[in-house]
Amino acid sequence: MIYDTVTIENLPEIVHRRSRFGNWEVDTVLGKKGTGALVTSAERKSRMYLYCKVAAKRAADVRDTMIDMLKPYADSVQ
C-alpha cells in the first residue's frame, strides 16, 4: 500500500511550476499478456525519463525497480 498519495491535480504549485529538480512521476506500461511491464519515471523539471522492464507488474517488483532507478538521484527525490 502507498501512503499519503497526492493526485496530480492536487500537487503543490512548486511542482506545477517545474522550478526544482526531483519531482518524479512514476507509471507502469503493461506489455501483452505475460510479457511483463515497463516501469517509467519522468522528472518534471528536466524532463529526464528513466525506464526499466520488469517480468510482471507485482508490487514488490515495481517497488524494487523504482528504488533502483532513483538511487542515483536519492538526494533530490521529492
Task: Give tens-digit pLDDT for 23-76.
Answer: 888 899 998 888 899 999 999 899 999 999 998 888 899 999 999 999 998 888
CB-based contact 41:70 (threshold 8 Å): yes
Domain positions in the chain are 8-73
Instruction: Kindly tell me if the per-residue pLDDT of 13 is higher than 70.
Output: yes
pLDDT at position 16: 80
